[in-house]
Every structure is written in structure tokens, then in C-alpha cells.
Structure 1
Amino acid sequence: MAERPALGEDCRVQQEKRGLSDVVGVDIGGTKVLAGLVAPDGTVTATVRRETPHRSKTPDVVEATIVEAVRELTDGRSGLAAVGVGAAGFVDAAGSIVRFSPHLSWRDEPLKAALESRLGVPVVVDNDANTTALAEMRFGAGRGYRQVLCVTLGTGIGGALVLDGDVFRGGNGMAGEFGHMQVMPGGRRCECGNRGCWEQYSSGNALVREARELVAAESPTAFLLRDLVVGDVSRLTGPVVTEAARAGDPAAGELFDEIGSWLGTGLANLAAAFDPEVIVVGGGVSEAGDLLLDPAREALRKSLTGRGFRPEPPVVRAALGPDAGFIGAAVLARERAARPQV
């Protein structure tokens, strides 16, 4: 498949004319705010990380955290052209308002206007999974494909569908909330207010929750997990579970089999609905690689509608790691800022 250019030639010319050199992308997740200076070819030249304020904090606290990160990145520099923000939550079709975020205090929050008033430059807001998918399609594992389904496993599950180079946002800008598909009626309570959402069974939170329950129950199969945290379940994190699984801990390996199986089942449903050319899996949990993806591929293979009589979409690990969200946000901001002003 032919590779896509990072940006269109017209966009590059507009940038050169208008001096759009510095663009900052910001990715706001459930646990971290990650910001970076991003060049037109997707190269990241500097990054700043902050902890995400607790959801009990008011929206202006989160906004202040974003502003601090942007100012640190651009300290002593001039020519900041635009800022792109990938936000965890429902963003309206205009890219202005975060309607709802299950992990933050945003409820109909006018984030674009609030940040523009503080930063004095154009700001573009989109869902963080949308910006991740855009980055992976332009520069990462989805490069060269026309129909890309991207699923991100972090605190929860995000997702996006890229069709012919453009993110599909739906009628209200809220498409791609795959993590809140109900897969278990009456199941575990989700932070979105419903029960049985997919992300309650296949996400970073699900992985850590199950690991902590195993260690707390003194499961004889979780000996390495228990030793790694000296019996303190509060110290169990996703990377610790991954480390234990790679070292051969039976319990950790079973957890990835379970999380991966749930992932593959959900992906089979999405493949039936959208028929993507490729499925890109990103987010922090994807750092486990084939520990997660092998059981996911097997579950997808067993559950795919019309299996044996249709192409099976490859399931690949995202290539850009934790930078994807802010890279895509920067791409979006750069391209919108380069459009001729009417």
C-alpha cells in the first residue's frame, strides 16, 4: 500500500508563508497530562509530563495544568502557532466543548475558549482516541491503510475509526466510545454510570483490579506478583503485572489471557460493524505486546462474523507509544491553523 505523506503540500506551503513552526500537542488522560512540541513531520522535539488533577478538582485546575505544560515547553521561544488538545471524554462536533469526561470533572466544559483566553493562540480540541488514531494513521502502525480502527487501552478503553484519512466523529462528535459498549448486562459498575461496559473487563484498570484481588486473596499462583510488591497490593500497577507475566508468573499470565480474550471479543464485534483493513491497539496496556495481543487475536479469530469466508483484519501494536495522543492533536492544530483565514 502506498504510504501517505505526513501533511499535504498545500498545507506545508501555508505553514511556510505563515511561519507556523511551533505547535504543541497535549494529551489529557485519566492519570497524566502529556504535552509535546511536534514538528510537521511528526518528530517530537520536547515533552512535558504532569499528573492529571483528581476528578474532584474544578475544571480550571485542569486548564491551569495544561497552560503550565504549554508554557514550560515554549519558555523563551516565540512563534507558537497553535495548540491541539486530545481530551478523554465526549467532545462536541465543533471541537470546542467537552460534554462529559468519566475520569475528570468536565461537564459541558468550554475548554477551547478557556485555553485560548489563557494562551492567546488558536486551540483545537478533540477526543484523545481520535488524535491517537490520526497520529497512528499518519506516522505509525496504520500508515498506508485507508480504513483504520484504533483501540487504546489505558485507564479505560478509547477508540476511533479513520476513513480515507479522516477521523469519523459521528453526528455530534461523539463516535468511537467503544469502551462503553455493554458486553455484560448487569455487570461491573462503570464510571460512566452504566454497568457491564467493555472497559471494565479489558483495560488497564481491569488488569490492575484483578491482580490486586488475586494477591489480596493470597492466591498460590500469584507468588511472584506478591513478592514484587512485598505483599502490598496498593503497589500493584500495570507495568508490575507485565513484568511478572514476562518472568513466568502463572497468575499474571492468566490475567493477560483473560484481558486479551475480552479485547479480542470486542474487536470482533467492531470488525463486524466497520470491516477495517487493520486494527491498531495502543495505550499503556499495549506495552505488554504479544502477552496481550496473542489471546486477543485468537478470540477475534473465534468470534469474527463470517470467519473463514472473509479477510481477518490484522491486529497490530501501535507504533508511537504514549506520544501518539499529543502528536495527533498537534497535527490537527497545525492543519487547521494553516487554513486560509476567511
Structure 2
Amino acid sequence: MNPVRRGQWQMASDVLTQLTRQPGITRAAVARTLRLSTGSATEVTARLRDVHLVTEVPAPSQGRGRPTTLLRAHPEGPVVLALDLRQSNWRSAIVTLDGSLQDPEYRRHRSRRPQVVLNNLRRQVEQARQQYGDRLRMVSLAVPGTIRDNHLMQAPTLEWAELDLETITEGTGLPLLAGNDATLSGVAEARTGAAAGAGTALHLIIEVGIGGTLLIDGVPAQGASGAGGEYGHVPFGDRSRACPCGARGCWDLEIDGRALARHLKQGRPDDPYAYTEEVLRRTDRSARAAVTKVVSALGSGIAGLVNAHDPDVITIGGLAIPLRAAAERTFKEAYEGGLMTFHRGSPPPVLPATLPDGPLRGAAALALDQLTTEPAIAAWVAQR
């Protein structure tokens, strides 16, 4: 039986999945993980080379034993365009099957009007399609907002609502995969970052408000319609306070620059992220007291999520890292004090995220999951 065709490309899919999850993996390691014989692994990778999906380079010598090779993405293989839309800018990169980011670009918004920004993203898609032709298989987009079926439901930081994001790929024939930025940064941390190897991981990130995701074996739990992980809108806060999302008492309102400004008896900051950074630089007593209140709300909220989800590890990103560092003892007391008794003996560690470009890498990772399925491989091979 042809190894690549067994189970409608199942073995090829398994090999490519290992490549996306462990860039630079050796052929021998793939064989061990998938329990393939040396001969089967050699034949599968040879056929994948023939259809321009992988290439191989000699692995560094490990002394005695049969030499092996490192698997890499083929230089003429399929690619993804990953886009990361932020409050003040957007980034893009071409992503190969081994997760390498190529041709990175960074652009600041000249206007935050939705149509202007989406038109700029569409131009980036068209340029990538012109450069890479049929090698470009998908566009993956990270957005700081609630996403449902490639529609943006609301993005408070951008002041956008009810937008069809597929306008950036309309008419190109390219599928779009749009996701929440916090969810995607969690995917990146679970695949190759601080939570790599964890069976169950909780990721949280503070920018304007807090978002995140629960990941099981590196896959986000996105809910019935893809809008899961809106942790900032769990009612951990003051129920008398209305949130822009439409709910009351949201945790969002207790843990970012808006909360700091309220504690300092100042008006709502135009840029809560920059305001938080400014307050963190201050050394006066009122600023320290405000930070302590916010950090306490952060720690106790994380404890509540641990009680609900029972993760192996929690990763935190964005402003959560310097906030915690500014009041480490307060965070520890609030976190451990909010845990159920049986968690306190060995509380799940709360680790800083390690990938500053997490949303872009997470968008790439979920797109590569789709490119390495059996139907996607078969469609690629049919065009060779």
C-alpha cells in the first residue's frame, strides 16, 4: 500500500502536523512519534518532497548511529497569509508549513474607519496573491473583538460592530479564517510558548480589557458559535457598572486603564493601554494603591477561572505581566485566596507569555491546522 495514500492521505497529514507543531523536527522523531518504521517514514517524506510539501536537510551529528534529516517546509509549497489587526496598527506575514514567518510587514492606521482599514487589508491580500499565486491557500486574521462565522460582532477597542470580514478576501477565491486575538495568542502559547506540552491551559491577556481562551491539547474551546473566551465579560466586577458590551459588572472594567483612572478619580482615558503604562511608571502612593486594587481583581478573577476550568497552567500576556510584577505579593494573596482548598496545595502556575507576536502566530497555527488536513493535501497534490 502506498504510505501517503493510506486512509486518504492520513499518514501525510500526521507527518505534516508534526512539522507544524515542532518546526525543525527530525525524520527519526516523526517516525518515533507516529510509530512508523524507518522505511515507511523515508517513503512518506520522499513522496511529500515530490509534491513540494516538505524538504529535508541533514540534522546535526549526534555521534554514533544512523544519520537523520530535519524536515522543513518546501520552498515551493503552500503558504498562508496571516494578519493581526490591532488598535493602532496591523501586521502581516507569509507563513510556511513549518510555521516560519516570512515577509513581515507593519503598518500604522492612518484612519480607524472600518472600511479604510479593511480596504488596506484587502490590498495586502491581493499583493500576496499576486506574489505567491496558487501557493497562497488561505488568509488568517486576528481581530481584537468577538468573532462569529467570520463576522465581527463587536470590537470595543476599535469602536467597531457588525462587520463582514470576508470583504478582505471576496472575489479572490481564498478562504478566510478570522479569530479573536486573545484566543489566537493562547493557541501560540499552547503550541510553542510557555504552555507548550500542557494538556489543559488557560491563557489571558490584558490590553484594553481582558480576553483569553481555554485550550485542550493546543486547541481552543471556542463555544457553539466561535465566540468563547470572552472572560472580560464574566461578572466578577461591580454590578452597578455598565460595560460597553451591554452587560453589567464585567471583569473588563476592573483590571485595565479604565479601572486605574477610576481609582485615581480621573476621567476615562482615551487610550487605556498607554494610560496603564503611565501609571505603572509612577511611584506615588495613590498610583501604587490604584495598581494594587487592579492586581487584586486580576488575581482573584484568575482564581475563579481556575476553579471553573482546572487547568494545568495559566499564561498571562500583555499588560497582565507588568501589572502582576508591580504588586507580586498582592497578586499571590488574591490568587491563592480565591482558590478552592484542594487547589491551594499545588496551585496551577501562572506564567508570563513568551510570544509577543502571539496573535499573528496563533492565526498562522490554526490556518496550518487546516492546510494539513487530508482534503487540503489532496487538493494541493491535484494541482501539481
Partner of 1:295: 330
Partner of 1:60: 115
**What root-mean-square deviation, in Å, do the aligned CA atoms of Structure 1 and Structure 2 show?**
3.6
Deviation at 1:41, TM superposition (A): 4.4
Contact 2:79 2:97 in 1 (8 A): no
Task: Give SS of 1:281's match.
Answer: strand
Match of 2:136 among 80, 86, 99: 80
Contact 1:147 1:276 in 2 (8 A): yes
Listed one character per residue, the Cα deviations across residues 58-88 of structure 1 (whole Å, up to 9, x for unaligned) are: x433312323455678886654332211222
Rounded to whole Å, the distance in 2 between the matches of 1:281 and 1:236 is 18
TM-score between both structures, scaled by the size of structure 2: 0.69
Unaligned runs of 5+ in 2: 1-17, 23-29, 35-44, 55-73, 380-384
Rounded to whole Å, the distance in 2 between the matches of 1:278 and 1:135 is 14
TM-score between both structures, scaled by the size of structure 1: 0.77
Contact 2:143 2:179 in 1 (8 A): yes
Partner of 2:21: 7
Rounded to whole Å, the distance in 1 between the matches of 2:263 and 2:172 is 42
Partner of 1:89: 145
Q: What letter corresponds to residue 49 of structure 1 in structure 2?
A: R
Identity %, equivalent residues: 28
Task: Give SS of 1:153's match.
Answer: strand
Deviation at 1:128, TM superposition (A): 1.5
Partner of 2:199: 146
Task: Give SS of 1:182's match.
Answer: coil
Choose between structure 1 and 2 for higher RCO, CA contacts under 8 A separated by at least 6 residues. Answer: 1
Rounded to whole Å, the distance in 2 between the matches of 1:292 and 1:81 is 46
Distance 1:306 1:127, change over 3 A: same
Match of 1:51 among 93, 100, 109: 109
* Residues 1:36 and 2:93 are matched in the alignment: yes
Task: From the CA coordinates, give the structure whose radius of gyration is larger.
Answer: 2
Matches within 5 A, 1:1-342: 6-7=20-21, 13=48, 16=53, 19-20=76-77, 22-45=79-102, 46-51=104-109, 53-54=111-112, 57=113, 59-68=114-123, 79-92=135-148, 95-104=149-158, 106-111=160-165, 113-117=166-170, 120-207=173-260, 210=263, 213=266, 237-244=275-282, 248-288=283-323, 290-291=325-326, 294-306=329-341, 310-321=345-356, 323-339=357-373, 340-341=375-376
Contact 1:86 1:126 in 2 (8 A): yes
Rounded to whole Å, the distance in 1 between the matches of 2:19 and 2:341 is 34
Aligned length in residues: 314
Listed one character per residue, the Cα deviations across residues 275-297 of structure 1 (whole Å, up to 9, x for unaligned) are: 00111111244345622555333
Rounded to whole Å, the distance in 2 between the matches of 1:20 and 1:106 is 36
Task: Give SS of 1:213's match.
Answer: coil
Deviation at 1:268, TM superposition (A): 0.8
Distance 1:24 1:184, change over 3 A: same
Unaligned runs of 5+ in 1: 217-232
